[in-house]
Amino acid sequence: MGIEETDTTWKTCFTSWPEKVARCGVLVTVLGNEIPFSNFWTSDGMLLLERTIPDTSGARKFLVPYSQISLVKLTEVVKPQALKSLGFTGD
């Protein structure tokens, strides 16, 4: 997958986030940095993450380009049906 495809995939994931899924989790960057978040906002090229507790430098908000996202860990219990709007299928 190229950078543009990755950008589009992550942007679609966050802009289509299911209403029944909490807007929290842990985002992992391509460099392996883990950023716990309690909310997020989207723009055309970046994601704005909010933390409840500041990091070691005191930051509570992070701007992350979609191309720098490696994976997202969901920290709340989520039923598979809740993820159908993201394109997931199965039982």
Mean pLDDT score of the chain, rounded to an integer? 91
Domain ranges of the chain: 3-79
Model pLDDT, residue 80: 86
69: β partners = 29
Encoding tokens for residue 86?
């993201």
Model pLDDT, residue 15: 94
Model pLDDT, residue 1: 60
**Using alpha carbons only, how large is the chain's radius of gyration in Å?**
13
Encoding tokens for residue 10?
């992550």
* Closest listed residue to residue 42, CA positions, set 3, 75, 16, 6: 16
Model pLDDT, residue 41: 98
Residue 22 has pLDDT above 60, yes or no: yes
* Closest listed residue to residue 48, CA positions, set 32, 62, 34: 62
Measured CA to CA, the distance from residue 43 to residue 73 in angstroms comes to 21
Measured CA to CA, the distance from residue 3 to residue 22 in angstroms comes to 27
Measured CA to CA, the distance from residue 6 to residue 2 in angstroms comes to 6
Global pTM value: 0.88
Q: Provide the pLDDT confidence category of residue 91 given band limits of 50, 70 and 90.
A: low
Instruction: Assign domain 3-79 to its CATH architecture.
Output: Roll (2.30)
